[in-house]
Structure 1
Amino acid sequence: MKIMEKVWGSLGILEPIEIEEERGKSDDFEGRGKKNNLVNLSNAQKPLKVIVVEPFSFDDAQHIADHLKNRKPVVINFENTDAEVAKRMIDFISGSTYALSGTIQKIGNHIFFCAPVNVDIAYSGREEANDKLFLSWNK
């Protein structure tokens, strides 16, 4: 097995870890770290699932906050949402996002991207004029 361990180690798919063993009082040995080898055949992480929501009532705001609480990014499309309901929802979701240390970004006309703390947003196409048209209450 030593040859395979060397091959896997050179490919970066074998990672040594240290595990501390706990021993009972009846043992004459103290707890010591042992070097074990783990084989990690896939270094790729599980793909991140993005939730897309088209809310119609204020009740949908809590579902969006629940997705953010579960560390899932959410795209919200307010195109078919009443303007007053959309305003209230943005206020609620902005507060929820802030409380969860996330970020919210307008990415299009009536479309917002809410990212939990484990997701970074890199967006450079933001236009202030469009923000003021949709977020007229946010002057």
Structure 2
Amino acid sequence: MALRDSWHRTLVYFGLAEEGDHQDDFDGYDDDYLDEEEEHEPRRGRGREANVRRLPTSRRGRHDEIDDIFSDSDPVPGAGSRSRTLQPVDDDSDVQVHLVIPRNFNDAQQVADQFKRKVPVILNLQTTDHELSKRLIDFASGLTYALDGGMQRIAEKVFLLTPRNVEVSAEEKARLIDKGFFNQS
């Protein structure tokens, strides 16, 4: 019975079935077979812990950050502010912000490669067509979400992607302001 309900819920989720019509679809099937699958439980080894454990997530479920990126209004200073615990990066590494001006979707690979190396990336979409911009923003949103980073609109069609536990220094922000990237409003 549980397998039938799970399958129906999946069909409803994808819009392939209605909420109340699942009983009619399965008339005539043998319920004994379905009940046999429910009786089996996974076995655990003696004294062993489970192979899968739940890890704490720090930024999951924060849709307001992504919603701020797609809003037409300018960002409100202080809205959605939170404190972050930053871990020091290797003192030997002098990390610079990497600028990407994509010409096609294949340039998304360059964004991901730099981001995975814990390098902040500026994604400048000012000269990119509208459809490609939407795809790249979706890609960058997924990338930053999956790797627990951050995404911030710093100017019209310009986004700063910051990896987890990486903060752009005041000197680097000043340099970006000089280049005309940071929105000073």
1:61 counterpart = 2:115: no
Structure 1 Cα separation of the partners of residues 165 and 153 of structure 2: 18
| 1:54-133 correspondence runs (5 A) | 54-120=101-167
Q: Is the 8 A contact 1:65 1:97 kept in 2?
A: no
Distance in 2 (CA, whole Å) between partners of 1:67 and 1:107 is 19
Paired AA for residue 69 in structure 1: K
Deviations 1:65-109 (A, max 9, x none): 111111111011111101110000100111011101100000001
Look up the SS of the partner of 1:59 in the other structure.
helix
Indicate the percent of aligned positions where both proteins have the same amino acid.
Answer: 42
The TM-score with structure 2 as length reference comes to 0.41
Would you tell me which structure has more strand in proportion to its own residues? 1
SS in 2 for 1:84: helix
User: d(CA) in 1 for partners of 2:133 and 2:154?
Assistant: 15
Q: Which has the higher helix share?
A: 2
- RMSD over aligned CA atoms reads 2.5
Shift of 1:45: 3.9
What do the CA deviations read for 1:26-82 (whole angstroms, capped 9, x no partner)? xxxxxxxxxxxxxxxxx9543212100100111111210111111111011111101
Number of the residue aligned with 1:48: 95
Partners of 1:72 and 1:64 lie apart in 2 by: 9
Cα 1:108–1:101 shift into 2, 3 Å:
same
